Structures are given as structure tokens and as C-alpha cells.
Amino acid sequence: METETTRQPRILVFACRWCGLIGADGAGKNRIALPSNFRIIPVECAAYVEPDAIIRALASGIDGTIVMGCHVGGCRFNDANHAAIKRLELLKELLDATGVGRDRLLISFGTAHEDHQFAEVIRDYFDTVAALPPLEPWVSTLTMKHLSRS
Amino acid sequence: MMVQNNEKNPVLVVGGGVAGIIAAFDLAEMGRTVHLVDSAPLLGGQVAKLDKIYPTDHCAFCPLWTDIKKVQEHHRVIVHTTSKVTDITQDADGYNVVIVCDPPAIDESLCIFCGRCVDTCTKGAVRPLWAHAYPPAYFIDRQLCAECGDCVDVCPTEAINLNRTEVELFLAVDEVIWATGFKEADLSTLPEFGMGTHPDVMTSLEFEEWIAEAGVNKGTITRKVNGAVPKNIAFIQCVGARDQRMLPYCSAVCCMHALKQAQWVKRRNPLIDCTILYTDLRTVGRGYNEYSLRELHESAITFIRGRPGLIHPLPTGDAIAIKYENTLTQTREIAKFDMVVLNGNLQTSPARKAADSQHIPPLNGEGFVDTMQDEIPRYACGFNLEPADIAESVIQASSAAMKVTIKEELQK
Amino acid sequence: MADITVYLCKCFGEIAATVDLEIVRAGLGDNPSVSSAEIVDSLCLNRDLETMAHQIREGVTQKVLIAACSSLARGDRIVRGLVHRGVRRTDIHLVDIREGCAWIHAGDPDGATGKAERLIDMGLAHLENVQTSDDVSVKINNEVMVIGAGPAGLAAATSLARSGITVHVIERAPHPGGMLRLVSRLYPKDSAASSRLEPYLDELERNPLITVYPRAKLQSIRGYTGNYKIRLSSGDDEHNLSPGAVIIASGAKVLLPDGLFRYGEVANVISQMELETRFRKGAVATKNAVFIQCVGARCQDRPYCSTICCPASIKNAARLKAENPVANVFVIHRDIMMPGSVLEGYYRHVMAQGVRFIRCEKDRPPEIIGTDRIEAVSVYDAVTGSTRTIDADLAVLSTPLIPNDDNRRIAELLGLQLDRYGFFREIYPMHPVETRMDGVFICGSARWPVSSDVAITQGEAAAMKAAALLARSQAAASDFSRVPGRKFGHARVNVETCSGCGNCMAVCPFDAIRLQKVEGKYSHVSRVNKMRCKACGNCVSVCPNGTMQMPEHNYLSVGEMIRRAF
Amino acid sequence: MLEQTRNLARRILEEKQANGILGLAQGEFNIIQPRIFSEPAELEYLVLEPKWPLAKMAMRILRSVPEGYTLAVVCRGCDERAIYELIKRNQIAREKILTIGIACSTAQASACLCERPYPSHLDVGEASAGVNPFEDETVRSLLQGDDAVRMARWAKVLKRCIKCYGCRNSCPICICEPCKLEDPVWVKTGSIPAEMLAFHLIRAFHLSDTCVACGACQEACPVGIPLLSLQLSMRKALQDKYMYEAGIDPAKKSPVLADFFDEPETDRDVPAWVNSLRENHGA
């Protein structure tokens, strides 16, 4: 296992099945090369993503999280993603206040729909997260051990 | 090969655009067997070519795809893609239709999109069906194909067969719904609009494709001629429309279409100036007029009332000159633009081959389906009936489907 | 316990070329929940489906994890194939290791293999914790209630009745007809409004399936798609209806131009509707008539275009001109809104008749001249750039349609949404007559101002949708999906732990959640209406203590997936 | 001020506006503790100091009272806001409760870093000016500097946590049972100090739009973690974006629970799209 200092950032993506995931799929179809250290959890709608899940992910030693949803105005669920945006932007405030850093959560609504944009978002975000100060002081040692299987 | 269908009172829907899809789905839900015919390899029609739709500013593809999937998966809808209605005759108990299907060389149901055919093809004849085709599949352009058969050998799933022949299909249907939509009229008869004189003079659908996020430029706006970022773009309205020489009617959708495109240009690159030359800004519909106001105030788009008298590239070729009169300031002006988008030349696409014996469906002087000629009800929706945007087409489609249903009930 | 079979698809080498499936399979060996892992050449081309399904049906294994391409590619076919062969949807999980892994990490085989392992582990985590939400099935009553008996409502009612559906038409006025009773003639054919109305009235008479409730008022609406419970009063007597669907065709009302263009202050400055009334009384003799468009429309407090005022004015202008060919008839407009082929043709025709059009500017509106009765209209002609004064003995103010006052009440009763002006909001432009409630449809000017022709078309469209819904006598809640295929699931409340805080109710985009009064520690618990729930999960993410869950995607599986992600 | 309150309370009892008054009573040995005054005579024992959060107590009392019982609560600004939030959450029936609003002293306000040291319905006392918490030294030290600095400071204070759940238990809004903080899925159990991120951020975020800034959490904290500072930035964001403050109006739901049509942000209408990484997309 690579050491904590040199390892690639770990990024968790919550992708809405109807835009974000289609974008990811398109990136795959066009075989756009991407760093391998991100995982996608498909959700039915961006509104599905509990802020607690984001916090949990960061607490579990994941360095950055992305929430991808449909264009505002294009949500399949009658603008359910509006409320999601509001919640997550509020969560960013909290992350910012505590120094976890607002960039540890990327809200990407709409831009994820097209394959190249998905790739851009992922690449940019890897750079962004790599530039952030390490999260270790925040993550209890227990969790790190728990995670060290990868 | 001949196929004679024997379902109970089937309906034929000609055209797989939004209108056709909805009409087919509604009838299928009502228990009718529906044959949905489209000449393209995929359903979706013109809307599938759009990048964004007004007034929601949301991708055109997603919602359309939802409905396409619903139709494709409906057990009562039989979809005939890459097919054409070649002959249609009417008798006492309905229509007899001949459909000619030209099956694609690659069987979409077997293609796993591995792309080996693309790599082997020296002619570049193999390309993806459509950026948004799900499930993804490749498609061989027979014009470019040299029939070398290399792709057939490399295909792991034996999906490719280069010598498939046309299939003729004979259908007996109770009713036909015409939903063949529109196509862009040829502008060569109106030379003053300068179509074809410069690569950066293009029709709005070409422009839409050019700036599409799924398109070649991935959503960035550049000039065709040199790939540079344009300084300014002119959108010309009522090109060939509301014009006795070509299309006397108003194409209804172009004002909003231009507003939409201008707004997206502004969003992606605020430095590009957008100018719309219009006659009347026809923004009827929920949120449409507000949309145009938003353009005016936020996006800072220039509106000029006037129709250009001449559009011609400068001798240097680096810009296009437009000569017009601003009818609100009563001044004649000549302006230079980097790109010119021509909007409005939308005509209903032929519902049948011109060589047909009977004239089914009967068309009126402007090319729209005449629904009540000599008291025989005909059913049409979308641009076959009247210039209409997505919402209107869909409404007309459902209404046509209802009419067909009622007709059936009345006969009982 | 070991009950999950894992299938690893080589995809003709597309996956195997990058991801070392052998390593992946070896890694699965020590996973307690995996009973067996198998590598296959291709899953999608219908080869192993039957055996896979058989194994599950026979109880050899209970759940199956498929590591293949994305669901958008061909994975969806595999899943549907298995479901088609009698496997529960929640027992199958598809992990995308082609698009999402092999193809985008072709340059990094180790990374790709590692990722594939993790992805599959996450998939297992999901399968271990996934639950199935309970579905409900309801009877769809073969009745429809149509609110409003204007052109839209009548068209909807008659077409539904003709297709064999019982229709209840409720109308607040004493007689059906709506706007068709108020106007005298209709554009573009200039036919009498009565000639349009009569066939419908006959149909109402003839057809036993249609019942009209005049002077009706909605008392209460309960129930859900397929089985609404409606109480209404018609005149003095009460009625209880239980329709399967509701069509809203309540129309709109015309704005009175009070305080605009000296209306009511000088004589012969009248509104479009007053002119219609005069026409219905008989011929209107005028020498110089002026129509003023966009009165109280496309302005600050009413920025929308009301669609019908331009054609209406043009129709009446043409009629005035026809009744007195030497009369001067002007239409002062800001943009002539005559889209399409029919209207544009009509516009040209009327222009040829000699009706004259003057384009003014928004911030330079025309002025009515005259002390007690109108004498002239002074207007800035934008096209000539000059201000001119037109003699006028009649000025007609063309005002927009505005939403009815009781729209909000109806919306609250049915859980619909209104747009910013108060018209009923459709769910999406691709579905223009459908609302966020399945089984409630909107048409005519209640949705957005339209002419009688379009209203009739929309009425038929709404009827079509209602009929399509009623075509099945029985429907499961999971059928009413906003997305292709069946619904993803339904939110489920744990009534033991629900504190009734109401966050879920406030946030639900489909108004599917209600608070129910209960005895005990907490005064309320929330209840999910499965017919309305569309499984967006908004309620799940605002629920403070995880009482609200989506069984197919519950917090246990999410938490476990996060834990196993790296 | 005390006398005023007693008189008001007496009147309420005499006029049967309420069956009981919840307030602080000075018992023998000068022990001060909450008490329900049912008889006007008892009111001589009523005192106002010290600050004692009564909202949750009122909620619990009202759960067990007979039908038609009304309770009047002697409450400060924060108590009233908390009561309003509990009403929003259907934990207190509007008609069952009555408030006797008293203003806090300037000293109290500055001690609590309170922006509104007075109830919106003020009965007794002079409303003293609020304090801007962001001007406080400790708050600034925690909320200023770049991420690494802030993280280090927070880590330092949060390491002290002994996971006594005092912050949650003392919070007038926290009413859920069971609580996510005790669920191993969200917060690892059996680890002290508590998993900092998970425990504290989840707790803080659950109160994002309902925290009334009463400061009960940090007063209850045995190791003196400045927990109120976690909430301040979110409260500010809600005030700036939606002009919303928890507990001001019992009828107004949190804007975070509505879509942009019902609750547009003050500076922007429905956002065309959101990409918090890159605002100008596609260009």
C-alpha cells in the first residue's frame, strides 16, 4: 500500500443515474483516460445524497466527494435537486468553517451530463484535492487502519 | 421476404420524432398495435439533434431518451427504423402500406461497442450511431465502405453483415398518423442570404450541431473557417419564412430557438456579442416572453428589427457583411459579423415519395397535411399539421391519438 | 452467510484485457458472503441468463452480482432478462467494470484491477443490505372528473365519453360553454362561436356517459391516482364522486383594463370582451376604430404574452372593417404574435382587407385624446419614427387572460403546483398536459392562455392521457414511474422512531408525504403515499435520524459501500 | 423587572390564561431550579437569573399534561426561538403554550455572544443590543486563517471530546430517538475521543437550519469545546442567502426544505447550473 504522503487522493462520486452516470458512461464509451482512484456510487437522484453520507465519507479517510446531478430545471423528480443544492451548499459552509475545506465537496450539477465534462470535472478535482492540506488530523487512527486494505 | 401483419386494428405512425413517439406510446397504452416507422437508424427525429431546449435550458436528450426507451420497451409498439413508407393505398377497411427497410450492416442488438471494426476500417466508414445512442452501437456508412470485409472478420460477436438486402414489409393498418416533422428548406433560391458563400454562414440547425456539447467542439464556440473564437454572431430571423417567395408561413419556433442559441453562446463565452435581426419577436408560451426579456437584460443581446437585404462575405473572407435597415431607427446600416446564423427556413418534410400514385396524405398549399379533404379524416401532428414546438407537437400527437381511438369506438 | 454468486464478464476480452479477472476472483475467495465466482466470456448475448435464473429459482444461490458493462450499455438487458425470467430485481446487482473501469483506466491495469475489486466489494455490500420496498396495487375506476365546461373541458369530456369512459363535468356557471358563450365569432375561419359549441352541447345531451354538474363547487378531494374521493356541491345538492383521473380545464379570466388608457373615464374606450358583447347584440357601427394591444401584458407586473389577444383583435378589426368597408381600423401593437401557418395566413388576409397596423414602442404607449368621449388616439409609430394622431370613435383595449382566483384552491386540493402567475404548471415540456400528480391532467387556458382551437386540441390530449391511464383496470404503485422501467422503490417510514418533525413532508417534490396525528410520545408520524412517491430520496436525506429510508438504497448499504470504497 | 414579571405571571394565572407558569424558583438554601407555578401565591419565589434553558423542559411537560392544559413559560430570546422551532417540528402544540418574554442583560448577551438577546414577543425589560459573534476573539481564532490553520485549531479543541453527548442532550432542538450519533453506521462506537469529523460535523449539520444559537451545547460541554462556533457560519449563510433565521417565525419553514421557485436565493433566481469547481462552464 502506498504511503499516506504519496498516495493519490481518494475520491468518491455520488452520480445521479440520469445525468451524472450517463456522463460517466459516455466517458467510458469514448475511453477517456482518467486516474483510477475514484469510485462512483450511483444514486437515483442527487437529492438522494445525505449530507451525513458526505461527512461519513470524509471521516472514513476519503479525500474528496463529488455530487453530480441533472441540470437545474432538468431533474426527473420535479426539481428535487434544488433542495439538494441548498443542503449541500450549506454543508460546504460547515466544511469550510471547520477547516476541512469547502473543496472537499464538489457540487457539480449539469456539467456532468456530457462525457468530456465528466472527465474534466474528475481531472480538475483530482488536482484540487491533491492541493488541499491533508485531512489526517481529523480522521481517527482507527478509521485509517480500517481502510488500509486497499 | 414478405410479412403480412395480422394484429387487431393496428395503427401506423410515420415518423419517430417527439410527436410520433408520443402518439405511438399513447395508442399502445390504449391497447392498439402500433407500427412506428422512421427513416433514421434511431428514433428521436429533429429534437435528438438539438443540444438544449427552451425555456428550461435543459438538455434536449435526457427527457427525449426517457420517452424513446418507453416506446422501444413497449410490447405493443413495433419500431421500424431505417425504413421508409414507399407506397400507401386506402380501401374500405383502412390503408395498405408498403414499408421498405434497409437494415444496417451492423446488428445493433449484437454490437458490444468494442470498436475493433473502427480500428480496422481504412476508409473511416464506421462511426458511432449517435452520441447519445443507448445501448451504444456502431454504424457503417455505405457510401464510404469499400466492402473489404475486414470488420466482419474482427467482429467478436458476428454482428456485421455487409450484404444485407432491403426488406419489403406489407402492412394492413386501420389508420395512419403522419408525424414526419420538418426539414430545413434549401436556401439557394434566396441568394441574398448568402447561404453557401462562406463556411460561417450556416442554418440554425447546423449551428446547433456545431456548438453542441456532444458535438465536435464539445460546446466551445469557434468559427468554422479558422477555428478562432468569433467576436460577434448575427442571428437572422424569418429567413425564407413569412416570405412569399418561399415559405409564406411563420415557422413559429425560430424566435425562441434563436434566443436560446444566443443565450447559450453568451453563457459559454460572454465575450461574444450576439445580435438578433427579427421581424416580430414571437414569444407566445409559458415563460417565453420572460425568456426574451432575460436575454435583453442579463445576457445583453442586441435586438435589431429588420430583415437583411444582403449577406455577403468580405473579399478578405475574414468576416461577413450584412446590409440591413433598422426599421425602428429608420437607418440603413452595414455591419460586419464573424458568424451568421440563418433561422426560419423550416418546411414540412415530405410524408411520402413524390412519385406516389394517390396523394396520401393530401397536402394543402403550404405543404401541411389537409386533415379534412373531401370529408375523409386524416391524422397528423407536429410539423405535419402546423409549425409547432415540442410541447405543441406532443399535445397534437396525443390529440391525434385520441381522435384515432374515438374513430375506432364509433365504428363499434 | 454465503449466498451471492458473482459473474465476471470478460466481454470478449474488452474487460479482461485491462482487468485481471483471475485476481479479482481470487480476491473474492475469502469474502464470506460470496458462494461462488465465475468468469464468463459474455453475459449479454443471452447465453448464461437461463442457467443463472435457474440457479436462483432453484435456491442454489439467492443473489447474483454481475460485473460487466454499464447498465446504459448492455447491462440493463442482462438485468431485465433475469427479471423477465422470474428473478427479483433487488436480488440482482450490476457492477460496471467496463465503461467505469476497464476502458477509462486502460493505461493502468493494476489500478483498474484494484478498482474492479473495490467496485465489486461495494456491490456486495449493497447486495448484503438491500431490501425490497413493499408495493401496493390499486383498482383504477373507469370514471373521469372534468373541472370546467369550456372548450377544453367539453372536448375532453366528449372524447372520453366516446371512448366508453364515464365522465363527470363540473362547471361553476349555470350553463356549459365557458368562453365560447362570451365571444361571438372565432378566428381564423370567422365562424360563429355557437356553431363550435352546439355539437358539444348535443353530445352532452345525447351521451348517457356524461353528467354535467352546473353551479358546482368542489368541497373536498381525497384519495390518489385511480381512485379519488371527491365531494362537491352542485346548486343545493351534494354529490360524491370517485373518479380515476381528474382533468383540469377551468380556463382563465380576462383582465379588466381598470386605470389603463383612461378606461371607464372616457366613453367608447372599451375592453375586447365588451366589444364581443356588442357584437353578440348585433352590428357595431364605427368609422374610426383603434385596437391597442398588450394592455396590461408584457409589462412590469405581468411580463408574459397572453397569446390570444393579437388574433382576437385582428379578428374583430376584420369584422369592423367588413361591416363598414370605409371605416379606418388600426391595430397598435408591439409585436404581432401570429405564429404558425394558419394565423400568419389570417394576418396577411386581414392586412389585405385594409386593416392597418402600427407598431409602437413599449416605453412610448399611445394616448387616448378626448374629454368625455374618445376623439382620437395619438401614437408614436416606431416604423416611421413619427408621432401621429388618429381620429377614433372607438378604442378597444386588448387585455390578457389572467388565472382564475380559485386556481390556488384547486391546486391545494389536488397537490398541484402553479407557476409564478397562478396558471397550472405542467411536469415537463415533453409532457405538457401532465402534472406532478399522475392522474391529474391540465388543458386549456387553466394551463396557459390559448385559443379555443388549441384548447380543444389540448382537451383531447388530456383525455388521451386519462384514457391511457384508465385503460388498465388495476395498477401497481411501482408502475407510476417518472423514468423508464418500473419505479426504483418507495420511501418507507419507521413509525416507531418517527418524531413527526415534518421535514420530509416539506421537502417532498411530489407531495407524497402527510403527517398523521397519533397518540403517544410524539404527536405526529409521517405517512408515505406510495402512489405519489417517485423515489427521489429527498425525504431520506432530510430525515434527521434515518427514520425515512429507501429500502432499495438504505443507509446500511450506503454506509457499507462508503466503508469498502477504498 | 422581576416584579413586572411576577405581576404579569400572576395576572396570567388569575385570568386563567394558563394553568401553570414554568420558571425558575428560589427554594430553601437559595437553591434555584425550574418549577411550575400553579398558584399566584407561589410566584414570590419566581426568579429570572441565571440563564436556564427551559424550552425542552416545556416540551416534556406538555407531553404529559391533560387535555386543555396551557403552560406559560418565562423565556428569554433563545428559549422563545427554541420553542418556535419545536412548534415547527410538531413537538409543541401552538395553542398549549404561552410565552412571557424577558430581555437579557447586556452582560448576559455578551457572555452568550447572542445576536438577539431578546424574544420577538417581549413582555418585560429593555431589549439590549445584540453582539456580533464574529467579532469575538475565540470565534475569530477558530474561523480565520487558511484551512490548515483552522483544521489544526479545531482538531486541538475537539481532541478534548469525551463523547458525553452533553451537547446533544442539552440542545433544545435535538429530539430524535434513536440518534444517528449512536448508530455505528454513521459514528464509530467505542472510540474516544469521538470520531471528530463524523461525530461533530453530523451533529452540527443536523442543526444547520434550526440552531437558535442559545449556546446550551457549549455551556453543557464539560471540556469547554466552543461548539456554538460550528453553527455560526451556517446561520450566517442562511441569513445572507435567504434572509432566514431559525426561530423567528413559527410559520416559516426552513428555505433548505423548498425548491428555488418557492424560496429563491436573494442574489440569484433559479441557478442555471451549479458547478462549485468552475463557475463558467464549457467555455
DSSP string, C406-475: THHHHHHHHT--B-TTSSBPPSBTTBTTB-SSTTEEE-GGGTS---HHHHHHHHHHHHHHHHHHHTSSEE
C-beta separation of D101 from D123 below 8 A: yes
* pLDDT given at position B270: 87
CA distance B205 to B182: 12
Residue B412: which pLDDT band, with cuts at 50, 70 and 90?
Answer: low
* pLDDT given at position C3: 87
User: What cell was used for D179?
Assistant: 440518534
pLDDT in tens, A15-63: 998 888 888 988 998 899 999 999 999 999 999 999 999 999 998 889 9
* pLDDT given at position B2: 43
If one compares D192 and C457, the residue with the highest pLDDT of the two is C457
Tell me: do B262 and B170 sit in the same domain.
Answer: no
Q: Which amino acid is at B208?
A: E
* pLDDT given at position C315: 94
Tell me: do B258 and B330 sit in the same domain.
Answer: yes
Structural domain boundaries, residue B27 = 11-103+166-181+349-411
Residue C407: which pLDDT band, with cuts at 50, 70 and 90?
Answer: very high
Region C313-342 average pLDDT: 93
* pLDDT given at position C72: 86
Region C294-316 average pLDDT: 92
Tell me: do B198 and B341 sit in the same domain.
Answer: yes
Tell me: do B288 and B403 sit in the same domain.
Answer: no
- Chain A, residues 81-120, CB within 8 A of chain D, namely 82-83, 85-87, 89-103, 105-111, 117
> Taking CB atoms and an 8 Å cutoff, what residues of chain B touch D283?
220, 268-269
- Look at residue B189 and tell me if it is in a domain: yes
Alpha helices in D118-227 (DSSP H): 137-143, 147-158, 166-170, 202-206, 216-220
> Taking CB atoms and an 8 Å cutoff, what residues of chain D touch A142?
188, 191, 195
- Chain C, residues 349-388, CB within 8 A of chain B, namely 361, 382-385
Taken in order D142, D144, D146, D149, the sign of the CA dihedral is negative
> Taking CB atoms and an 8 Å cutoff, what residues of chain B touch D282?
213, 218-220, 267-268
Tell me: do B379 and B272 sit in the same domain.
Answer: no
Region C73-98 average pLDDT: 89
Tell me: do B369 and B405 sit in the same domain.
Answer: yes
Residue B296: which pLDDT band, with cuts at 50, 70 and 90?
Answer: confident
**CA–CA min distance A99, chain C (Å):** 22
- For C274, residues 6+ apart whose C-beta sits below 8 A from its C-beta are none
The total of structural domains in chain B comes to 2
CA distance D156 to A98: 12
pLDDT in tens, B246-283: 899 999 999 999 999 998 888 888 899 999 999 989 98
Looking at B318, B346, B374, which one is the last position of a domain? Answer: B346
User: Which of D142, D189, D208, D276 best probes binding to A when mutated, by most A CB atoms within 10 angstroms?
Assistant: D276
Closest in D186, D253, D261 to C506, CB measured: D253
Residue A147: which pLDDT band, with cuts at 50, 70 and 90?
Answer: very low
If one compares B56 and B387, the residue with the highest pLDDT of the two is B387
- Look at residue B2 and tell me if it is in a domain: no
Which residue of chain D comes nearest to C561, CA vs CA? D185
- Look at residue B392 and tell me if it is in a domain: yes
Delineate the domains of chain A, giving CATH numbers in brackets: 12-133 (3.40.50.960)
Tell me: do B226 and B266 sit in the same domain.
Answer: yes
Delineate the domains of chain C, giving CATH numbers in brackets: 4-129 (3.40.1400), 139-251+404-475 (3.50.50.60), 285-392 (3.50.50.60), 492-549 (3.30.70.20)
Q: Is the pLDDT of residue C391 over 90?
A: yes
Tell me: do B359 and B250 sit in the same domain.
Answer: no
- Chain C, residues 430-489, CB within 8 A of chain D, namely none
Tell me: do B281 and B356 sit in the same domain.
Answer: no
Region B362-377 average pLDDT: 82
Q: Helix/strand/coil (H, E, C) string of B360-387?
A: CCCECCCCCECCCHHHCCCEECHHHCCC
For chain B, the average pLDDT equals: 87
Closest in C104, C122, C541 to A47, CB measured: C541
> Counting Cβ atoms within 10 Å, is residue C93 exposed (0-12), middle (13-18) or buried (19+)?
buried
Q: Does C544 touch chain D (CB under 8 A)?
A: yes
DSSP state of B299: I
pLDDT in tens, B145-175: 888 889 999 999 889 998 888 889 999 999 9
pLDDT in tens, D74-129: 999 999 999 999 999 999 999 999 999 999 999 999 888 999 999 998 988 888 88
Region C223-237 average pLDDT: 91
pLDDT in tens, A103-135: 999 998 876 557 788 898 899 999 999 988 887
- Tell me how many residue pairs between chain C and chain D have CB atoms under 8 A apart: 54
**CA–CA min distance D208, chain A (Å):** 8
CA distance D4 to C555: 53
Count of other CB atoms within 10 angstroms of residue D127? 15
Q: Do D282 and B57 touch (CB under 8 A)?
A: no
Q: Is the pLDDT of residue C329 over 50?
A: yes
CA distance A126 to A35: 8
* pLDDT given at position A139: 64
Looking at B346, B362, B388, which one is the last position of a domain? Answer: B346
Residue written as cell 416507531? Answer: C496
Q: Do B218 and A70 touch (CB under 8 A)?
A: no
CA distance B215 to B222: 12
- Look at residue B369 and tell me if it is in a domain: yes
Q: Is the pLDDT of residue C463 over 60?
A: yes
Tell me: do B218 and B361 sit in the same domain.
Answer: no
- Look at residue B278 and tell me if it is in a domain: yes
* pLDDT given at position B8: 66
Residue B357: which pLDDT band, with cuts at 50, 70 and 90?
Answer: very low
- Look at residue B131 and tell me if it is in a domain: no
Q: Residue A66 pairs with which residues in a beta bridge?
A: A13, A106
**CA–CA min distance A5, chain D (Å):** 16
Tell me: do B177 and B35 sit in the same domain.
Answer: yes
pLDDT in tens, C526-541: 999 998 999 999 999 9
User: What cell was used for B61?
Assistant: 436528450
Neighbours of chain D (3+ CB pairs under 8 A): A, B, C
- Look at residue B133 and tell me if it is in a domain: no
* pLDDT given at position B71: 92
CATH label of the domain that carries residue B238: 3.50.50.60
Looking at B322, B346, B370, which one is the last position of a domain? Answer: B346
User: What cell was used for C302?
Assistant: 405581468
* pLDDT given at position C204: 92
- Look at residue B4 and tell me if it is in a domain: no
Tell me: do B278 and B332 sit in the same domain.
Answer: yes
